[in-house]
Amino acid sequence: MCGRYYIDDETTREIEKIVNRIENRLNRPEKARDVYPCDTAPTILSDNKQMVMQEMTWGFPHFQKKGVIFNARSESVLQKRMFQESTKNRRCVIPVKGFYEWDRAKNKVTYEREDKNIMFLAGIWNSYEDKNRFVIITTSANPSVKDVHDRMPLVLENNELENWIYNKESIEFLLHKIPVQLQNVSDYHQQSLPFIQ
Q: What is the chain's mean pLDDT, rounded?
A: 86
Distance separating alpha carbons of residues 22 and 3, to the nearest angstrom:
29
Q: Are 40 and 56 in contact (CB under 8 A)?
A: yes
Q: Are 56 and 43 in contact (CB under 8 A)?
A: yes
**Every domain of the chain and the residues it spans:** 5-184
pLDDT at 16: 72
CA distances from 31 to 13, 19, 86, 134 (A): 12, 19, 31, 22
Binned at pLDDT 50, 70 and 90, residue 25 comes out as: very low
3-class SS letters over 68-110: EECEEECCCCCCCHHHHHHHHHCEEEEEECEEEEECCCCCEEE
Q: What percent of the chain has pLDDT over 70?
A: 87
* Domain 5-184 architecture: Alpha-Beta Complex (3.90)
State the pTM of this model: 0.81
Cα angle: 28, vertex 32, 35; to 5 degrees: 95
- Tens of pLDDT, residue by residue over 152-188, are 999 999 999 999 999 999 999 999 999 999 999 875 5
